[in-house]
Amino acid sequence: MDKQLAAQLLEKMLICRKFEESVQYYFSLGMIHGTTHLGIGEEASAAGSCLALDRNDAMYATHRGHSAAICKGVDVKRMMAEIFGKATGVCKGHGGSMHIADAACGAMGSNGIVGPSAALACGSAFAFKNQGKKNCAAAFLGDGAMNEGVVHEAMNLASVWNLPVLFLCINNQYGMSTHISKVMKNTDIAARAKAYDMKSVTVDGNDAYAVFEAVSGARKTAVENSEPFLVVMNSYRISGHSKSDGNQYRTKEEIQHWKQLDPIRLFKEKALSEGTLTSPEILDIEKRAESLISESVQFAIDSPFPGVEDIYEDVYSE
Amino acid sequence: MSTQNEITYAQAVRDAMREEMIKDPSVVLMGEDIGVYRGAFGVTQDMYQEFPGRVIDTPISEAGFVGCAIGAAMSGMRPVVELMFSDFVSVCWDMILNQAPKMHFMFGGQLKVPMVIRTAAGCGTGAAAQHSQSLEAMLCHIPGLKVAVPSTPYDAKGLLKSAIRDNNPVVILEQKLLYRTKGIVPSRDYTVPLGKAEIRRVGNDCTIVTYGRMTHVSIRAAEKLAEEGISTEVIDLRTLLPMDKSTVIESVKKTKHLLIVHEAVKTGGLGAEISAMISESDAFYYLDAPIRRLCAEDVPVPFSAVLEKGVLPDEAKICAAVREEVG
């Protein structure tokens, strides 16, 4: 593995992890309101995917979208401020945890509804194709979203219109509390691509480098041939679904098993054993990630709340 | 030099799209059977030949192609989607409710969604309960959308041009019975602003607020009432969201009587909103009688022609309602 890439993947994953741990902490203190969907354990899928994308590619994230947003390049400080509901937030405090966007880096917004991102991504890909741009659009989807009708519609549309769309499915095996085996007869999600005459690949979603390789390849195919591609990343959500999760639907042993497969831990071990990164280098990356997060939290806390007097400002565009 | 032609409402819609497509390469049309079939109501005609690759037949996937139009709009296009019947908002409701109108606000003004959904609305064609509804009130309950119902070919063209140039999602309800009606439309480039009502007939005794096809029915009723010595003002709202409240308020202050007429069912309809709006305004103090609403009966649209006609407001019902209002 390339040293620079390894450092980037690790740094992104660490920022994501520390960001979410921080969100969880301030949530527990009552300093963040609303709800939040953490993706602890899924960072490799987000980092590997987003680092394989071009800055100008469009990326649509899910409600569990913090990591995708961070890895696509959303400013971490302003994202933290958004989650704190502050005026300096990347969406001025209008969106919150579930709705992070930063048009400047192609983060077209994380969506609170399961599935529509697949269709929206078709639209960005349609525009790029029309504009003669060599870009693609990526839609993150969970395994649960694969049972939404609109995802079927979007995959069919992308295929029949030859649109450069990457359907990036993070299969964390649960739709909230419901295991994939209860809601899908054939749990080989990639097999669905065949129905749309679409290429697909399944990859270990806890291996950041493997994800990067798979998505890079898929992106190359999508952009060069103008065609969609389905990438399925098998992973696991170590954190609960949201703040209401009592973990009644899974065993401690199961969670423990997946903690052993923590993507950050595996990545570090591999980088060390293969000599890609040294211990001091890893420590340095960790420190950088930590200070970025503490600066972000401080920025968020210090920022003012938005005023309701401006609330009509962004209902309509000029 | 500007010329004027008498053309149909359908042609006016087509001309608006043609002219905007010639001017702006980012305008594309998407919809079911708008290509070689020429549109279910014949609106697009031979546009697929005139604009190769820009008049696009879609799969029967309303959520898919409306969603695709939203994404395309966010990435720099100006898509105009034809939703074959407005009743089909049900199968792409998430896109109309949660996606298109939310993007700009929810993401702090960073993204915009310049798109138009044109859709055939209203009853009178014997298409029964699932192809005849007037669902504008549901659409007007969604901040971030704009909603217009043109009543004439002139407005159909002018409002659609405004909608295509607007940076927000706009739904245009084209009433099916209006497609073949004719009117004078200038050939010059003009627009009708979104959010501006039109006083179709000036009167002093009673205000009728209406829109779409009921504008014409109301004008005919007003002419009949004039013979009886009742002077009726008819306001065509043209855009329902945002609504031109001041035109309605000023008219009510003048006539001191208000009748609201629409083809949609009464309960939870736009009539309730207009009535409440007047009640909250200073026009309330000018009223000499309670506000009345004349709407479709609160039933699904029935099939049989007698029933279909029977549940709707008509000229006679409007005349009777105005007589009671001013009597």
Domains of chain B: 4-186 (3.40.50.970), 198-326 (3.40.50.920)
Query: Quick check: B1 pLDDT over 80?
Result: no
Pairing between β-strand A178-179 and β-strand A199-204 as defined by DSSP bridges: unpaired
Chain B nearest C-alpha distance from A142 (Å) = 18
Q: Is residue A312 part of a domain?
A: no
Q: Is residue A165 part of a domain?
A: yes
Total Cβ atoms within 10 A of residue A254: 13
CA distances, B311 to each of B296, B305, B307 (Å) = 5, 10, 6
Q: Indicate the length of chain B as a whole number.
A: 327
Q: Do A316 and B111 touch (CB under 8 A)?
A: no
Mutate to test the interface with B, among A97, A303, A316, A318 (most CBs of B within 10 A): A316
Q: Is residue A314 part of a domain?
A: no
A236: CATH: 3.40.50.970
CA distances, A292 to each of A106, A260, A289, B69 (Å) = 22, 27, 5, 38
User: What's residue A244's pLDDT?
Assistant: 83
Q: Is residue A315 part of a domain?
A: no
Contacts of A313 in chain B (CB under 8 A): 109
Q: Is residue A50 part of a domain?
A: yes
User: What's residue A245's pLDDT?
Assistant: 86
Model confidence pLDDT, tens digit, residues B118-158: 999 999 999 999 999 999 999 999 999 999 999 999 999 99
* Res. B2 pLDDT band, cuts 50 70 90: low
Question: Catalytic residue positions of B?
Answer: 62, 131
**Percentage of chain B with pLDDT > 90?**
98
Q: Do A119 and B70 touch (CB under 8 A)?
A: yes
Query: Quick check: B274 pLDDT over 60?
Result: yes
Q: The whole model's pTM is what?
A: 0.97
Q: Is residue A240 part of a domain?
A: yes
Its domain, for residue A23, covers 3-298
Model confidence pLDDT, tens digit, residues B8-49: 999 999 999 999 999 999 999 999 999 999 999 999 999 999
Is A116 part of the contact surface with chain B (CB cutoff 8 Å)? Answer: yes
Query: Quick check: B194 pLDDT over 70?
Result: yes
Give me the number of domains chain A comprises: 1
Q: Is residue A196 part of a domain?
A: yes
Chain A nearest C-alpha distance from B64 (Å) = 5
What's the ipTM? 0.97
User: What's residue B3's pLDDT?
Assistant: 79
Mean pLDDT of chain B: 97
How wide is the angle at C-alpha A65 spanned by C-alphas A50 and A226, nearest 5°?
40
User: What's residue A304's pLDDT?
Assistant: 98
Instruction: Give average pLDDT by consecutive 10-residue segment, chain A, 318 residues.
Output: 96 98 96 94 98 98 97 98 98 97 97 97 98 98 97 98 98 96 97 98 98 98 98 96 87 95 97 97 98 98 96 96
Q: Is residue A307 part of a domain?
A: no
CA–CA separation, B49 and B92 (whole Å): 28
